[in-house]
């Protein structure tokens, strides 16, 4: 359908920055970890080019510092660059002042890198909170894409959604573009991102079509490390964290290619502009 909004988004962070691995890899050790994000992201960029898809890339602070050339390449290849913060800390565990400084620094550094305004934000691990929205607006952002309204998750944050919509004007001139769920009765299942790795592709595709028929929009997210089957394996983490981190890595790239061939994705900025919302 012509009026559908189908967004492809990428959270640009490296394999060792993932929340599942925090019990084993401390933040102070990040600087010494081997970077795999550049090769993985460029591979993903090549795949997107093949299918002529433009995406939104939410970039975290370490990547701004270590690989500014990668960010410029993302922008040069026609994709939207957006903020994933600097510290990759859960928003609802931060003080308001910490959060403001984090997003202000991220926005400024990204804009210096690509030479144009950065208007989008995604909270680390979707840990958004109502109080953070006004700060995002005050710091010049035009949309957030952090709300993931699953029935249960041990880390995701929440914001008030009185309309139960998935893409809506949260405050005047500011939009929320929430992550997609597949709803059965009163249960909302996550139907995007790494969950693709653990679900047979035909079932996942069926679910997307069901989401689109009911909501008229769909938001997919992914990490570059999810197409990296050869990434280091960390064993001393909880069994459920290991499943979340490593399930389906071997087939992820093939599933992404099939996804891009089956749906007409765009970046969030481009989609909102086409809808006349920006």
Instruction: Name the fold adopted by 5-274.
Output: TIM Barrel (3.20.20)
d(CA 37, CA 13): 7
Percent of the chain's residues with pLDDT above 70: 98
Residue 2: its pLDDT value, please? Answer: 58
d(CA 84, CA 110): 10
DSSP H stretches of helix in 165-267: 195-198, 201-215, 239-246, 249-262
Mean pLDDT of 110-118: 97
d(CA 54, CA 38): 18
pLDDT > 60? residue 1: no
Question: Hey, how many other C-beta atoms are within 10 angstroms of the C-beta on 28?
Answer: 7
Sorted by sequence, the CB contacts under 8 Å of residue 114 that are 6+ apart come out as: 71, 72, 75, 81
Mean pLDDT of 107-113: 97
Q: Which two tokens stand for residue 124?
A: 């680390």
Mean pLDDT of 20-48: 92
The C-alpha angle 19, 20, 23, rounded to 5 degrees, equals: 90
pLDDT > 80? residue 3: no
Q: Which residue shows structure tokens 């929320």?
A: 176
pTM summary value: 0.95
Alpha-carbon dihedral sign for residues 240, 246, 250, 254 = positive
For 118-177, what is each residue's pLDDT tens digit?
Answer: 999 999 999 999 999 999 999 999 999 999 988 876 778 788 887 777 899 999 999 999
Cβ 190 vs Cβ 153: under 8 Å:
yes
Mean pLDDT of 91-108: 96
d(CA 124, CA 129): 12
């Amino acid at each position: 359908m012509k009026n559908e909004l189908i967004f492809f988004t990428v959270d640009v962070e490296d394999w060792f920055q993932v929340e599942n691995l925090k019990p084993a890899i401390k933040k102070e050790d990040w600087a010494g970890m081997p970077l795999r994000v550049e090769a993985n992201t460029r591979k993903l960029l090549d795949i997107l080019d093949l299918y002529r898809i433009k995406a939104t890339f939410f970039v975290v602070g370490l990547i701004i510092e270590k690989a500014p050339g990668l960010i410029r390449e993302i922008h040069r290849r026609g994709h939207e660059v957006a903020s994933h913060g600097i510290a990759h800390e859960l928003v609802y565990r931060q003080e308001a002042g910490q959060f403001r400084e984090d997003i202000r620094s991220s926005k400024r550094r990204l804009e210096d890198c690509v030479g144009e305004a950065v208007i989008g934000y995604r909270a680390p691990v979707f840990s958004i909170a109502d109080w953070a929205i006004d700060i995002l607006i005050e710091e010049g952002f035009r949309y957030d894409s952090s709300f993931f309204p699953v029935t249960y998750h041990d880390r995701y944050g929440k914001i008030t959604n009185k309309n139960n919509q998935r893409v809506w004007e949260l405050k005047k001139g500011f939009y929320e573009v929430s992550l997609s769920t597949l709803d059965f009765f009163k249960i909302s299942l996550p139907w995007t991102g790494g969950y693709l790795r653990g679900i047979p592709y035909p079932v996942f595709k069926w679910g997307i079509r069901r989401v689109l028929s009911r909501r008229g929009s769909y938001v997919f997210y992914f990490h570059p490390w999810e197409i990296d089957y050869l990434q280091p394996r960390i064993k001393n983490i909880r069994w459920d964290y290991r499943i979340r981190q490593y399930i389906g890595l071997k087939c992820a790239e093939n599933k992404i290619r099939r996804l891009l061939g089956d749906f007409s994705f765009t970046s969030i900025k481009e989609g909102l502009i086409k809808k006349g919302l920006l």
